Amino acid sequence: MSQSSFSPKYYEFLELIRYDIENSSDKTIEELKKPRTIDIPIPDNITVNEVKIDEKYRIKSKEYLENGLKKYEDVVDEKWKYFDNELCGEWIKINDQKDTGRVILYMFGGGYFMGSSKVSRPITFKLSEIAECSVFAIDYRLAPQYQFPAPLCDALAAYFYLINPGPEAGFKPFDPKQIVFAGTSAGGGLAVGTALFMRDIGLPLPSSLVLWSPWVDLTNSMASLWKPEMDKTDFVPKLTSSAYRTCTNIGPPCPMSIEFLDHVKILAEKIKKKKPNVVGHPSFTKIPRYHFYCANEALAIPYISPMLAESLGNLPPILCQVGGGERFLDSNILFSFRASDPNKYQLPKYTTTNFANSSFKNPTEVTLEVYDEAFHCFQAFVIDEKISQFSLKRAGDFIKQHIPNESSDEAESKSIQGKTNVQTTMNAIAINPNCEIRELDMEFLTCLEYENIGIFPDV
C-alpha cells in the first residue's frame, strides 16, 4: 500500500466530522435530524429547480411494493403506506448544456434518518458537470417516522416519474437505459435495493449503478467495522457492544422518539403474534431493536441489506468506490465480488439455500475502486480535494461509458482508465492519494473468506 498521504485540508475535514459525531450523544433524534444551515452557493453555470412529484407515481409504486414485499409484510411497519407528506426533489442542470440523453437519479446518504438533496448539492453539482447530464435528487422519506420500505417506495416512484412524466413535467420521457442510479452511503444501499427490487419483479433496469461507500449490510457483520486501525482513518464510530444504537439508547426523549418507540412496540407485538418465517439468522433476535430503519427480523431482506441477497447477478453494471480506511470497506468488497460472480460467492448460507432455482445467476459487470486510507464517502466532504476530483471524474467517465452521448460519434464507450480486461466481469483496483492506480492488494480480499457473514456480531 502506498505511503503517500492526503492534504492538511483532508485531515481537517476528518477531525471536524469526528468532533461533530462525538458531541452528538446528548442530542435528541429531532436535533440530529434537523438540517444544518448550509449556504451552498449555486454556481452561475447551474440551475436548480425544486419540484413536487405527482402523488400518482407513489401510488403506483405502492401497488408494486405491496405485491412484491408480501412475504415480508409481517416484519414491516405499515406507516410507509400512508402519504402524509409530499415527495419532492430537485433538478440540477448545467446551463446551455447540449442534451446528452442521460439523467442521474441521485439518492443521498445519512443512515436513512438524516440528509437531504440540498445538503448533497456539492456532490450533485459536481456530478452534473462531470457526467455532462442532469441530476434528479429526491428527498425520500426518512426514519424513524418512516421505516422500510418508505425510501424504496419513493425511489421507485421517482423512477416512474422519469420514464413517464406528464406534459407539465417539462421533459421528455427517459428510456430506462438513459437513467443512472447513484447514491452515497445509505443512498447507495437504496440505489442497489431499488435495482434489486426492479430486477425481481421484472421492471426495466437503469443503465448502471454508481455507488459511493454504499451501506449494503445492515447486520454490520463484517470485520472492518471494529478493526482498531479504522479508528485512525474513518469517522464512523467503532462497532462495540456499548455503541449499539438500540431503542433503549437513542438519546434524550422527544416527541419523535416517543412516537417511534410506540411503533416499535406495536410491530414487535405483531411479529411475536404472527411468528413470520422470514430469512434471517438467530443472532438478529438476541439484542434489542438495532436500527431506526427496520426491525431486527427484517435485516436480511435483500432490499435492506443487498450484500445478503440470494444472488446479485443480472444487475446493471456497477461502479463501487470505497475508502480503504473506512469501516464499510469489507462489506463493499464482498458485495462487489458477489455481484461479479454469483456462482462462486454464495454467501451467507442462510440466504442462498434456494440459489439453484434462482433466475439471476448471470454475472454483473463490476468496477471496484478502493481508495487507500480514505474515509467514508470522502467525495462528499472534500469535494475540492485532488482525490475527490479524481474519484468523481472516474464516476463521470463510467456513466458516459454506459450511456454514450446520443449526439456524439466519439468513442465514449471505451473502458475507463485502469480497466485491465474488458472480458472480465470484475475490475478491482486500488488508488492512492496521488491518484495512482494499481491492482487491488491481496490483503483487501481476506474478507471474502470471513466466516460470519450476515451474522450479527458478538463484540
In this predicted structure, what is the pLDDT of residue 422? Answer: 37
pLDDT of residue 38: 63
- Convert 281-320 into a string of H (helix), E (strand) and C (coil): CHHHHHCCCCCCCCCHHHCCCCCCCHHHCCCCCCCCCEEE
Radius of gyration of the chain (CA): 21
Indicate the angle between helix axes 121-131 and 386-402, nearest 10 degrees: 50
Give the pLDDT of residue 41: 86
Give CA–CA dist 341/343, Å, rounded. 6
* Domains of the chain by start residue, with CATH: 8-449 (3.40.50.1820)
CA distance 110 to 123: 14
**DSSP characters for 199-238?**
HHHTPPPPSEEEEES----TT--SGGGT-TTHHHH--SPP
Tally DSSP H helices, then E strands, for the chain.
Answer: 11, 10
pLDDT of residue 246: 56
Mean pLDDT by 10 residues, the chain (459 residues): 75 91 85 74 92 97 97 95 95 88 95 93 94 96 96 98 92 96 98 98 98 96 92 84 51 88 93 91 89 94 97 98 97 98 92 93 97 95 90 96 64 43 76 95 94 85
Burial environment of residue 36 by CB neighbours within 10 A (0 to 12, 13 to 18, 19 or more): exposed
**Beta-carbon neighbour count of residue 160 at 10 Å?**
19
Cα 105 to Cα 348: distance, rounded to the nearest angstrom? 30
What is the model's pLDDT at position 459?
A: 56
Predicted pLDDT at 401:
93
Evaluate whether 417 touches 408 at the Cβ level (below 8 Å): no
Q: How far apart are CA 317 and CA 398, in angstroms?
A: 9
Amino acid at 179: I
Sign of the Cα torsion 251, 115, 325, 352 reads: positive
CB 79 within 8 A of CB 147: yes
- Whole-angstrom distance, CA of residue 404 vs CA of residue 410: 9
pLDDT at 363: 97
